[in-house]
Structures are given as structure tokens and as C-alpha cells.
Amino acid sequence: MPGDVLLAETILNRGGTTQVPQKVMEALGLKPKPGERSKLLWTPAGDVVIVTKGTPQSDWRKTMLRKNGTAAIPRHIQQGLRLSLASHGEEKLLWIRGGDQIVIRKGRRTADS
């Protein structure tokens, strides 16, 4: 889409987690504070997923942002994006800012070296 900006590319780890890019955390207003845990809300929208900042009351589609900057990608989101944890290669995730939304798309798989 016109006006979309690629913020970062990350790789899906075997445990179904990925690093949340610093630019995404800034765009969503996620600031790690002592004693507080931030949540990400994952909303499927066709072949992409919209990521927003969750609230303490967010539903089951949320995941906690860990202190090391990683977050688990819910299984239904992995299936919706057709992500595979197989060892054939690494699955890339593209974090894109489209207007006031953060969108995730599946990137091209990279072969193991």
C-alpha cells in the first residue's frame, strides 16, 4: 500500500517467539516500566495481522511482551500467516507501519546456510 513504511524484519524462533523491534515498541507506546508488563494484541485482517498495545483487560488474543523484548506469536496468528516452525529455513516477519497501524506480514523464507 502507498505510504507504508517497513519498520523492521524479524525471524520467527523455534518456540514461536520473535523479537519486537524497538521502532514498533516506540510506535505503540510500549515503555518497559519496573513492575509492569506490556501486552500486545494480535488481530487477523486477511493475509496480515494488526498489532496494537493491549490493556490489562485485553482478551485471549494477547501476549505479554517479555523483558528481553520478545513476544510469543499466538498459534492462531501463526496459522493465519501460514508460518512454519520447520527447520527448512527461517520464517521472516515484516513489521510495517501503515498510517496509524502496525501490520505484520509474512516475509520470504531464507534458506539455512
Looking up residue 88, the CATH number of its domain turns out to be: 3.40.1550.20
Q: Structurally, how many domains does the chain consist of?
A: 1
Distance CA 101, CA 3 (A): 12
Indicate the pLDDT class of residue 35, thresholds 50, 70 and 90.
Answer: confident
Strands (E), 1-113: 5-11, 17-19, 39-45, 48-53, 62-64, 70-72, 89-90, 92-98, 101-106, 110-111
Q: Which domain holds residue 40?
A: 5-111
Answer yes or no: are the C-beta atoms of 32 and 38 closer than 8 Å.
yes
Whether the pLDDT of residue 50 is over 80: the answer is yes
pLDDT of 15 reads 84
Whether the pLDDT of residue 113 is over 50: the answer is no
pLDDT tens digits, 64-104: 888 888 999 988 888 888 887 765 668 899 999 988 899 99
Q: Indicate yes or no: pTM above 0.85.
A: no
